[in-house]
Amino acid sequence: MGDMELLLPGEADVLVRGLRSLQLRDVGSRGWNQQHENLEKLNMQAILDATAGQGEPIQELLVTHGKIPTLVEELIAVEMWKQKVFPVLCKLEDFKPQNTFPIYMVLHHEASIINLLETVFFHKEACESAEDTVLDLVDYCHRKLTLLVAQGGRGAPPEEESQHSTPMQELQKQAELMEFEIALKALSVLRYITDCVDSLSLSTLSRMLSTHNLPCLLVELLEHSPWSRQEGGKLQQFESGRWQTVTPSEQQKLSKLDGQVWIALYNLLLSPEARARYCLTSFAKGQLLKPSWLALPHTGLPWTPLQLRAFLTDTLLDQLPSLADLQAFLAHLALTEAQPPKKDLVLEQIPEIWERLERENKGKWQAIAKHQLRQVFSPSEQDLRLQAHRWSKIYRLDVLEAVAPERPRCASCNAEASKRCSRCQNEWYCCRECQVKHWEMHGKACVLAAQGDRAK
């Protein structure tokens, strides 16, 4: 473990061993919450270890105990809950939550798992340890990236907060922003999977190249670049959970997310295993070579009609020299004939987690929602105080500051902050005026967190 430890080695081993797949009906229950807390501890410790650069024992434990498939199943289960149960729950006549914290924890569960997977999938051993569930993970990433492309140039939802929003409206805004960030994490996970094309099964390669045609989807992502936008004549990029203005001197620097797309595209088009499986039909060739309205951040022009090859500038090749091979591949592709679609009969595996969960719970969505409304999402004040006390022990301030990628931001105006709420120690502000302005929104959570502290 690194210099700062949230978990001792023995504790991490116990938590990893205890990970298990839970039923959709159990979402939000006491046992589910305990596992969510354990996953959050493992997630933060994995980030601390990766930041310290002194080995990554959480990844090793997950691989050793065969728990990567469990994480994938839990990830897809909470995704299904959000799509199938949550909308039904919101329409129930008795659903009038006074506190949305328990629901937020369920929505946040997906973000915690995909963040942990992003951290551990940097190592090829994690991808190999996923075994057959890598098919399910590929499908999951494809769903998230398709949503990113569908958003077009809208990018992340706006960050502005309204003082007149209801708790559920505020939760919906947080959920939309969280969904955008989850999709960006899924992009990184997919890129790490493409790093392992030499060890992926034929079924997985076929799923990526034939069923989903991921190279064409990645080209669409480069075209739309949903993590970049022009705002007030200035280029902004979405990093560390918010939009940040890119200075003119930094505009030619390759962003992390653009880099992930280029590397994934390189892996899927140029690795020997993928090239042997990918059929460059007239459609695929057209998508890879089509003239498109592409954004060129460093030119100051919002949109310019270009081919994908035009993005492979000398500046980009200096930062990712291996893309010179991709440039040569595209030039050669333009001169070759398209291939006819392959009609090979191949016995392939298919992802089974989503279909199995849907089959097991078909016709039960309303019953699950009603059960969870009674048992989970109508907590008493005492239950909320106990939960706040449990989370205050997990989210230690020293750990959060070590995990945070940058200095804290004001909860009201988003400027750099140096003052913290003295009562709950959770929110940051740049000045007294912003704290007073934000109190209407922050007050209830602040009192609840302070009560949790006094309960220690």
Q: What pLDDT, in 10s, does the model give residues 221-276?
A: 988 889 988 888 888 888 877 788 888 888 888 889 999 999 999 999 999 999 88
| Residue 343, pLDDT score | 62
Question: For 101-131, what is each residue's pLDDT tens digit?
Answer: 888 889 999 999 999 999 999 999 999 999 9
Lowest mean pLDDT among 3-7, 329-333, 336-340, 372-376: 3-7
Identify the residue whose tokens are 């129930």: 92
Instruction: Determine the Cα–Cα distance for residues 348 and 228; give it in Å rounded to an integer.
Output: 38
Question: Helices 353-361 and 133-150 meet at what angle, rounded to 10?
Answer: 90
**CA neighbours within 13 Å on the CB side: how many for 118?**
20
Distance (Å, rounded) from C-alpha 12 to C-alpha 206?
36
The pLDDT score that the predictor gives to residue 298 is: 44
The whole-number pLDDT of residue 240 equals: 76
pLDDT at residue number 133: 95
Start-to-end CA distance of the chain, whole Å, equals 27
**pTM confidence score:** 0.82
Q: Each residue of 274-312: pLDDT tens digit?
A: 988 898 888 888 888 876 544 444 444 444 445 677 788
pLDDT (0 to 100) of residue 441: 76
CA angle 17, 19, 23 (to 5 degrees): 150
% residues pLDDT > 90 (the chain):
43
* Mean pLDDT on 30-37: 92
Percent of the chain exceeding pLDDT 70 equals 85
Residue 435, both tokens:
């704290």
- Per-residue pLDDT for 18 more than 90? yes
Of 357, 265, 293, whose CA–CA distance to 80 is shortest?
Answer: 357
d(CA 97, CA 90): 10
The crossing angle, in degrees rounded to 10, of helices 214-224 and 282-289 is 20
In the structure encoding, which two tokens stand for residue 48, read together?
A: 């601390």
Residues contacting residue 146 through CB under 8 Å, at least 6 positions apart: 217
